[in-house]
Amino acid sequence: MRNYGLYVLRRLVQFVLVVFIGISLTFFITHLTPIDPVEQMIASMTAFGETSPEAVLMMREALAELYGLEGTLLEQYFAYWGRILSLDFGPSLSAFPTPVAELIGRALPWTIGLLFTCTMLAWVLGNLLGGLAGYYHKSRTLKLLGVIVMGFHPVPYYIIAFVLLILFGYLWPILPISGGSAQNVPQAFTVEYIGSVLRHSILPALSIILVGIGGWFLGMRALVSNIVTEDYVVYAELGGVPRRRILPFYIMRNALVPQITGLAMSLGAIFNGAIIVEQVFGYPGLGRLLIGAVYSADYSLVLGVTAISIIAVSASVFLIDILYPVFDPRVQLA
């Protein structure tokens, strides 16, 4: 137990360090760009009429204070960390005066619900089918499934998304192609609203799962193909242990260890697919929110979305790290 406590403590230190470095890099990269959001805001507000220099100066000071851009870059950096610790990212520049935290709060459940669920589904299905294909290597059905999976695996997310959009949105229009739910359905915990959300998530989810499942399938099939020749597996088969017990408890459990490591890495890249898929299907998640913030040079919203993304992904990887010894007890001694 003491070794496991030290293991968790090391992983916690790594989690804090990753979050600190990631958020710090995001802050400095954003603030060192030549785009000044305050000047952009003033330009848009004064574009339709003349404004006195005194009014412009007061406006500039007020906006700089509002968006945390007062003082030197180092002072802004410490002020920004103060806002993060208090979960106050200030108001959005592009959706003024709506707070950034409110915009993120609206979009975050959509992204987590879609991407996390799809990543886990692809992981479970890919490992299950790959394990079966590796153990029952003579099955023609599983061989055909492997060919199909390998065909989808190298195709980028956006290609699959566009193909699904054209196929089920125009050629055979049976599924919605934009939005998170029907506009005429009130947002409430009802069967109608939940059904609408699930219906609108089918195409984005398919584009993520079809591409993601291939890597897990191929990896698990290769691992199982090697483990199936191990002495303890051969001994279990000769001892009359049922195959339905050998595959999950003797083979796949040992093969899952590197796959769990891969899952942690894939969760680290979970928002890569968010930006593309959410933009193609008009899904109201963090990816689409981030693109709009970048186009409008909304510092507060960009920093808020990236900070939440870094924290969420790092927390997911940290959780998998501390659960890792459940599958491989040797890690506690590492």
Q: Is residue 17, in this structure, part of any structural domain at all? A: no
pLDDT of residue 90: 74
Is the predicted pLDDT of residue 5 greater than 80, yes or no?
no
Mean pLDDT of the chain: 78
pLDDT of residue 270: 65
Is the predicted pLDDT of residue 1 greater than 60, yes or no?
no
Query: pLDDT band at residue 274, thresholds of 50, 70 and 90?
Result: low
Residue linked to tokens 């990543």: 119
Q: Is residue 97, in this structure, part of any structural domain at all? A: no
Q: Is residue 36, in this structure, part of any structural domain at all? A: no
Is the predicted pLDDT of residue 206 greater than 80, yes or no?
yes
CA 13 to chain centroid: 22
Q: Is residue 146, in this structure, part of any structural domain at all? A: yes
Phi and psi, residue 80, nearest 5°: -65, -40
- Percent of the chain with pLDDT strictly greater than 90: 0
Q: Region 290-311: what's the mean pLDDT?
A: 79
Q: Is residue 32, in this structure, part of any structural domain at all? A: no
pLDDT of residue 138: 81
pLDDT of residue 15: 87
**Higher pLDDT residue, 204 or 53?**
204
Q: Region 13-42: what's the mean pLDDT?
A: 78
pLDDT of residue 48: 61
Q: Provide the CATH number for the domain around residue 161.
A: 1.10.3720.10
**Higher pLDDT residue, 289 or 269?**
289
Say how many CA atoms lie within 13 Å of 323 toward its Cβ. Answer: 11
Question: Which of these ranges, 5-14, 51-60, 190-199, has the smallest mean pLDDT?
Answer: 51-60
Q: Region 35-64: what's the mean pLDDT?
A: 66
Q: Is residue 284, in this structure, part of any structural domain at all? A: yes
Q: Is residue 177, in this structure, part of any structural domain at all? A: yes
Q: Is residue 251, in this structure, part of any structural domain at all? A: yes
pLDDT digits (tens, 9 = 90+) for 89-137: 777 777 777 788 888 888 888 888 888 888 888 888 888 888 888 888 8
Total-model pTM: 0.75
pLDDT of residue 215: 83
Is the predicted pLDDT of residue 167 greater than 80, yes or no?
yes
Residue 200 to residue 172: CA distance in whole angstroms: 15
- Other beta carbons within 10 Å of 128: 15
pLDDT digits (tens, 9 = 90+) for 219-241: 888 888 888 888 888 888 788 88
Q: Which domain holds residue 120?
A: 109-297
Is the predicted pLDDT of residue 332 greater than 60, yes or no?
no
Residue 170 to residue 161: CA distance in whole angstroms: 13
pLDDT of residue 263: 79
Cα angle: 316, vertex 322, 328; to 5 degrees: 120
Query: pLDDT band at residue 68, thresholds of 50, 70 and 90?
Result: low
pLDDT of residue 269: 63
Q: How many domains does the chain have?
A: 1
pLDDT of residue 327: 67
pLDDT of residue 268: 62
Is the predicted pLDDT of residue 266 greater than 60, yes or no?
yes
